[in-house]
Amino acid sequence: MEEVQSSVAPPPVAPKASRLLLQLGAVAVVFAASPTRAFDLDRFLAPKELVLHLTALLAGLFAIPAVRRAKGGWIDLALGGYLVLGVLSASFATNPWLAARAVALSGSALVLYWTARGLRVAERESALVNTVALAVVLAAVTSLLQAYGLDSAIFSPNRAPGGTLGNRNFVAHAAAFGLPLVIVAGLRALRLLGVLFASFGLSLVVAVLVLTRSRAAWLAATAAIALIGAVLMFDALRREGKVWGRVTLLAIFAVGGAVAALAIPNTLRWRSENPYLDSVHDIANYEEGSGRGRLIQYGRTLRMAAAHPVLGAGPGNWPVQYPGFAARRDPSMDPSVGGVTYNPWPSSDWVAFVSERGFLAAGLLILAIVGIATANLKRLRAAQTSDEALAAGALLATLAATVIAGLFDAVLLLALPTQLVWTATGALDARASGERMQAARTAGFVLALLIAGVGAARSVAQIAAMETYAMTNDRALLAAASHIDPGNYRLHLKIGGRDHACAAAALFPHAHEAERGCR
């Protein structure tokens, strides 16, 4: 009786609404930003996190019937275990607000993955993947607009050309992992107009990759292109004549985008006379500059991981604990603000996952990603049609670019890559599943949905507190904002007084300013 009921299709409105929400969210996350420049990072991060969580929550609610019907496997168990360990780690974190924020990203990521995979139907998958590719192109457009002189309140002048992502590295990472999606969108297009549109989008994405000078993105994009090239050698594609004509067109537009980026004067001001050649020359330089800083940071962070091997230092708590492990004159530390790191995360997703959540949780995540990649590699080898081969190739190339960029920068620690990568991964992942795991899968999905809901509420509180901080110096209003967002370190310092200084010191125990005020 249960088997008969499980085969009944859900009302058509539910999957359509869920799919539409995923598509709208993929575009909205690109443009979500606040003009409040008092918080030059969080004014981009918090609004994008809100879009991520709302998309996951609403799309996931509509997709519950589809997710319950889908078959599960050990990969889903690994992802669920990673999430549960993250929640457990967060319960012991020094800064619970940062921990809640980081766990919420993980919860929403899994909701998007399971939702997109549960909704995956052959004739509908391409629309969702194409929307993610479009979102990457739109992010590139905002970056180019800033690079060529457009001034906007939602652009950051300090990290140009980041466009609506606020940081040139962020948009470069998006261009790298989005590159294979744009290419495959052109190769799979049903009409010539779609091929031309994808080709033009590819030229914009390549131009952004050049202009942003992100070495991590260059390495990631190179790996993605190499993988797509290898996919084209498979039998299912070699015998497709139209594919090679499209490859030629896409290549011409890609080269044109790179040449245009180098030839057309822009408003970017680099310190070097030959910035792009210098970036190429320094791509593997770890003896000085940012490369040497990364090696110091990785070594010290691994000491932190060794000190917290089981559950880690707490999700999102790297900047809280790292000052206690920092080297003398550590480049990751801000010399103008004692006891505080320059960035709120380490220069690597994987270093962050290991140090913040422990070796077991990081291992489960890596195992799941390897499992998805291995299953889809088998699918690629067995592909009978060009469409199936390209879908598997796009997934492999996207995952490769994301993992490689994440070795050298923060990628999946951020909302936009989390939303786009996990949505595309779920939509493209057509691996054969094992036995049905309805109860465990439903329980994990509901937990992730609840976490996404908490994340949405937390993001609203952050945005409200940031706006209050920027708009007033009234101590009563600021104190009210601190009750809305107790984890806002800068807000506590602005309010002043011993109680708020001690609250700030509890959030960042190594921060000298808070420590002095709490004495």
Q: What DSSP assignment string belongs to 47-67?
A: HHHHHHHHHHHHHHHHHHHHH
In degrees, rounded to 5, the angle at the alpha carbon of residue 208 between the alpha carbons of residues 230 and 223 is 20
Q: What is the pTM of this model?
A: 0.93
Structure tokens at 34: 């606040």
In degrees, rounded to 5, the angle at the alpha carbon of residue 116 between the alpha carbons of residues 112 and 121 is 175
CA dist., res. 179 & res. 38, Å (int): 33
477, 96 in Cβ contact below 8 A? no
**What are the residue ranges spanned by the domains of the chain?**
2-286+343-457, 474-518
Which residues make beta-bridge pairs with 341? Answer: 333
In degrees, rounded to 5, the angle at the alpha carbon of residue 169 between the alpha carbons of residues 229 and 281 is 70
463, 46 in Cβ contact below 8 A? yes
Helix axes 74-90, 349-357, angle to 10 degrees: 60
Residue listed under structure tokens 């011993």: 498
Phi-psi region of 434 (alpha: psi -120 to 50; beta: other; left: phi over 0): beta
> What would the DSSP string read from start to end of 423-461?
HHHHHH--PPP-S--HHHHHHHHHHHHHHHHHHHHHHHH
Task: Give the residue among 219, 137, 131 at the shortest CA–CA distance from 171.
Answer: 137
SS3 call for 145: helix
205, 179 in Cβ contact below 8 A? yes
Q: What is the distance between the terminal CA atoms of the chain, rounded to a whole angstrom?
A: 68
Structure tokens at 365: 């995540």
Task: Give the residue among 467, 509, 361, 334 at the shortest CA–CA distance from 47.
Answer: 467
Q: How many Å is the maximal CA-CA distance in the chain?
A: 75
> What would the DSSP string read from start to end of 372-383?
HHHHHHHHHHT-
Task: Give the residue among 98, 83, 115 at the shortest CA–CA distance from 49.
Answer: 98
Q: Which amino acid is at 166?
A: G
Residue 10: predicted pLDDT: 45
In degrees, rounded to 5, the angle at the alpha carbon of residue 323 between the alpha carbons of residues 321 and 329 is 160
- Residues of the chain with pLDDT below 70 are 1-13, 121-124, 270-290, 431-438
SS3 call for 485: coil
The neighbour count for residue 513, using CB atoms within 10 Å, is 17
Task: Give the residue among 413, 437, 431 at the shortest CA–CA distance from 371.
Answer: 431
Q: Which amino acid is at 437?
A: M
Calculate the CA 418 to chain-centre distance. Answer: 3
Calculate the CA 409 to chain-centre distance. Answer: 11
305, 314 in Cβ contact below 8 A? no
Residue 399: predicted pLDDT: 97
Task: Give the residue among 31, 53, 59 at the shortest CA–CA distance from 105.
Answer: 53
Number of residues written out for the chain: 519
Q: Which amino acid is at 126?
A: S
209, 172 in Cβ contact below 8 A? yes
Tally DSSP H helices, then E strands, for the chain.
Answer: 23, 0
CA dist., res. 225 & res. 184, Å (int): 11
Structure tokens at 360: 């077991």
Residue 278: predicted pLDDT: 54
In 241-329, where does DSSP find H-type helix? Answer: 241-263, 275-281, 289-307, 318-321
Phi, psi values for residue 281, rounded to 5°: -65, -35
The neighbour count for residue 413, using CB atoms within 10 Å, is 23
SS3 call for 41: coil
Phi-psi region of 252 (alpha: psi -120 to 50; beta: other; left: phi over 0): alpha
CA dist., res. 487 & res. 457, Å (int): 13
CA dist., res. 465 & res. 490, Å (int): 10
